[in-house]
């Protein structure tokens, strides 16, 4: 499990490397990648507070055979989260679905979101 951290309302990019059990990069060509953040691990996907995929918010490297991708959280993904929600660590995972329909979760962890001190529009 990995700890990711950011400030509420900021744009934040996380570089990820998707590898197999032997540490070899997984070719991401044609693979759907989903990044989900939840309050509790038992929450349903519908209860997720952040959900991004290769359709929106996740970009694979210029060469998908390298197994790397960038997950970008935009300010609107976190700026409306209450102090109560960000007071605790959240749970995240990355799930990949290959073209054959095989689903794996190669990465997971906790997300710590710090309170931003400046809350005026456009200056988070």
Residue 105 counted as domain residue: yes
CATH of the domain at 84: 2.60.40.10
pLDDT digit string, tens, across residues 67-111: 999 999 999 999 999 999 999 889 999 999 988 889 999 999 999
Q: What is the pLDDT of residue 121?
A: 60
- Give the sign of the dihedral formed by CA 103, CA 54, CA 80, CA 119: positive
Residue 120 counted as domain residue: no
pTM for the model: 0.89
Task: Name the burial class of residue 34, with classes exposed (0-12), middle (13-18) and buried (19+) by CB atoms within 10 angstroms of its CB.
Answer: buried
Q: What is the pLDDT of residue 1?
A: 66
Task: Tell me the CA distances in angstroms from 121 to 23, 72, 113, 124, one per residue in order.
Answer: 43, 20, 19, 7
Helix (H) or strand (E) holding 6: strand 2-7
Total domains present in the chain: 1
Above 90 in pLDDT, residue 117?
A: no
């Amino acid at each position: 499990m990995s700890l990711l951290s950011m400030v509420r309302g900021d744009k934040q990019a996380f570089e990820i490397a998707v590898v197999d059990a032997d540490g070899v990069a997984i070719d991401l060509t044609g693979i759907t990648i989903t990044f989900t953040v939840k309050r509790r691990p038992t929450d349903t996907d519908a209860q997720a507070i952040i959900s991004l995929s290769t359709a929106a918010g996740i970009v694979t490297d210029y060469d998908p055979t390298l197994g790397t991708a960038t997950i970008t959280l935009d300010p609107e993904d976190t700026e409306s989260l209450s102090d109560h929600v960000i007071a605790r660590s959240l749970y995240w995972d990355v799930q990949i679905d290959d073209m054959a329909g095989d689903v794996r979760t190669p990465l997971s962890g906790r997300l710590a979101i710090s309170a931003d001190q400046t809350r005026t529009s456009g200056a988070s």
